Structure 1
Amino acid sequence: MAEVLSQSQIDALLNAARSGELDVDKPSEKSEEKKYRKYDFYSPRKFTKDRLKMLNSIFESYARVINSRINALLHATCEIEVDSVEEQRYYEFSNALTESDVIALAEIDLAELQGEDPILAHMDTPVVLSMLDRMMGGEGDPDPNLASDYNMTDLELDMYEGLLKDLIPIMGSSWENYITLNFRYTRTEVNPTLVQLIGYDETVVIVGLNIKFPNCTGRMSLCLPGEMLTNIFSEISKSTSRRSTGEDKSEEIFDSLRDSELEIVAELARTKILLSDLYHLNVGDVVDIKRPKDSPIFLNIGGRRWFDGRMGTSNKQVAVKIGETYIKM
């Protein structure tokens, strides 16, 4: 119910307005409404912000690598940067595709981590044609009359596949700080709207890369299946746990190595001779090693000098008495 003003309150307001204490033209201040992000309980998020930040870091590294690769391959100045890393449903990625788009399929070499769904890569047609034009010696100028439903020719598809076979395997190097993965190109689909490559409601992570040439810009999108990422993150967690457990058992591991056998090489001396002298050596010849007769000999383990000592006998066997240690235990 609206508040009713008394006569005295009305008079006070009118007097304040006449004296200028109250600015009637000034709009009343409204408290800013706090904005909240909508959350879809029907499709809850599968990956935490930390996981998405990890993916962002991984693909920033990938962007730098393919940036250098494309610059060298096309002899052109190109800038590639990560635009977004978002968790979505596959239908959001699929609905943005048209009949003329070309989708590349890829996978990792570990079938137990890959799952059933492939990795998908899509690149805007104008930037693809610009890159192919540069590969054939052109300037890569975009065609202003290019139709939105342009279909690549067989030659362009073949060249595009060759480019993808070069760019996709590089993706493995960006993961090497966390896990060893090898990515490989499998095939292309020229009309992705006719093929259901991943379930429409499946969770995926879409990585968007902006590609900028001096005369052309475009976007490359990578669709990473949620099942594959879940398996990879689980394996990374296991590896981290194994590494931390291994550090705690360092003494136990060292104890198990104490009984290992090592070869010790006693080195009398080293010298150099001419090949012609080596060729004429016979039984009874003397090689001058240019060392005093009381010089120590060296004991090497694994190709490194550990000790020196004096040669003698022990229990009627040739032996070496250790004199100095070179490596502290």
Structure 2
Amino acid sequence: MPENLSQNQIDELMKRMHSGSVDTEVEKKPKLKEYDFSSPKKFTKEQLKSLNGLHDNFARVLSSYFTSMLRDVCEVEVLQIEEERYFEFNNALPDSSLTGILDFKPEDQNYEETSILLDMSTSLGYLFIERMLGGASHSGAVYVPDRDFTEIELTLLNSIFQQVTKYLQESWCSYVPVATTLTSLETNARLLQAFSPQDVVVIVALNVKMDNYTGTITICLPAESLEEVVDSFKNRYSRSVKQQDPEKEQEKREMIMNSIKRSDIEIKAVLDTFQMSLGDILQLQVQDVIALNKNINSDICVMVDGEPWYNAKLGVTKLKKSVKLIDVVAV
């Protein structure tokens, strides 16, 4: 059928539509998901979900840290997690950037050591510098000077990145033992050669929000090196439906009870408690007699780890002072 219809063809088609001989309902086509075979996905939905949970914990820790550093309420949340080629991530970075290169070492020797890129928007960097040097919170926009960071500013920001690296390591260690180290802090995105341009990476975008400011933090993870590490999450934390062996459970209880039995707990017998003024206490001398509120034959309280536990009687056994337990204190 030609793309351009003649007037006669249009009139005939309108006539058939009015007569009902032409079905005007649009045929519903099944939704098809496009897949690029030249760029296959490395991570499954379950793996990306695990990464999202990991960085949710990381974002909550950063919220508290940034709030204390900026002296203003700051919220950090995960915006999105997606896969793409490294050159796409690198091309999206501005010429003037603030990117930390992190050394990522899993403790398991089966996993390879790799690098992680942690990019912070330059405006957020200048905001940190302003607050660290005594600037007060205000309602105006953040001032971003049209220049590169100075050496002093980079030293201050390096301490921020060091702390963020530590929190990132703690978040990862909740899933798999790793060690992360900040190796360098770069300000020129064009000089970043961490990965090959065609390498597949996972981009985690975090949104930093305050009353008068919104910035971003982006984490670039290499898919090739971390695919097996992330895949180990579900094996490590999957719940077993197998019932526990009763004998092993009994042995475990006995082991715990034996450990508790060997614990040191303070037991103290208290005859009475009373109050004296500080002046009377300062005048006390040796051989003074302090009158108590209790009769010498009254019951005393035996404290176990600071809690009243038994009622007892005072006595003597083999020329030594002793107490005789009478009953258990009602809780």
Q: Distance in 2 between matches of 1:258 and 1:78?
A: 44
State the number of aligned residues.
305
Matches within 5 A, 1:173-188: 185-188=182-185
Match of 2:270 in 1: 267
Q: Distance in 2 between matches of 1:72 and 1:97?
A: 28
Note if 1:81 corresponds to 2:72. no
Q: Distance in 2 between matches of 1:86 and 1:304?
A: 56
Match of 1:256 in 2: 258
Q: Distance in 1 between matches of 2:317 and 2:26?
A: 101
Shift in Å, 1:298: 2.0
Structure 1 residues 42, 210: closer, same or farther in 2, change over 3 A?
closer
> What are the Cα deviations for residues 203-231 of structure 1, in whole angstroms up to 9, with x where unaligned?
65321023456776543201245656855
AA in 1 matched with 2:203: I
Contact 1:101 1:125 survives alignment (8 Å): yes
User: Alignment RMSD, CA only?
Assistant: 4.8
Contact 2:54 2:171 survives alignment (8 Å): yes
Shift in Å, 1:188: 0.6
Q: Distance in 2 between matches of 1:27 and 1:19?
A: 7
Q: Which moved more, 1:151-160 or 1:262-271?
A: 151-160
Match of 2:328 in 1: 325
Matches within 5 A, 1:230-245: 231=229, 234=232, 238=236
Identity of aligned residues (%): 26
Match of 1:22 in 2: 20
* Partner SS, residue 256 of structure 1: helix
Match of 1:119 in 2: 116
Q: Distance in 2 between matches of 1:19 and 1:117?
A: 65
Match of 2:9 in 1: none
Contact 2:107 2:178 survives alignment (8 Å): no
Contact 1:130 1:140 survives alignment (8 Å): no
Shift in Å, 1:295: 2.2
Shift in Å, 1:84: 0.6
Match of 1:305 in 2: 308
Given candidates 22, 29, 32, the residue that maps to 2:29 is: 32
Structure 1 residues 49, 267: closer, same or farther in 2, change over 3 A?
farther
In structure 2, list runs of 5 or more residues that go unmatched.
1-11
Matches within 5 A, 1:287-306: 287-306=290-309
Q: Distance in 1 between matches of 2:228 and 2:38?
A: 20
Structure 1 residues 262, 218: closer, same or farther in 2, change over 3 A?
closer
Q: TM-score, normalised by structure 2?
A: 0.65
Note if 1:221 corresponds to 2:218. yes
Shift in Å, 1:271: 2.9
